[in-house]
């Protein structure tokens, strides 16, 4: 069993925590660029009868 699984985490949670810790450990001149890569956008679209309705943000 892997260490992250033994700790009760799934892979997504583990990788999110590891990425956050890595970004915080970077030198200040590299931290800003890494923080930009850490941002994500999720778009959710509700589908009714096989057609998309108005998208929510």
| Domain architecture of the chain: domains with CATH | 3-56 (1.10.1620.20)
Q: Note the pLDDT of residue 57.
A: 54
Q: Angle, to 10 degrees, between the axis of helix 28-38 and the axis of helix 11-25? A: 150
Per the confidence metrics, is the pTM higher than 0.85?
no
> Could you report the per-residue pLDDT of 2-57, keeping only the tens digit for each?
887 888 889 988 988 998 898 889 998 888 888 777 777 778 888 899 888 875 55
Query: Tokens in use for 2?
Result: 């892997």
């Amino acid at each position: 069993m892997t260490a992250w699984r033994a700790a009760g985490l799934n892979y997504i949670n583990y990788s999110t925590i590891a990425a956050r810790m890595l970004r915080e450990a970077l030198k200040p001149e590299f931290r800003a660029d890494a923080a930009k890569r850490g941002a994500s956008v999720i778009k959710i679209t509700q589908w009714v009868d096989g057609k998309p309705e108005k998208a929510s943000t």
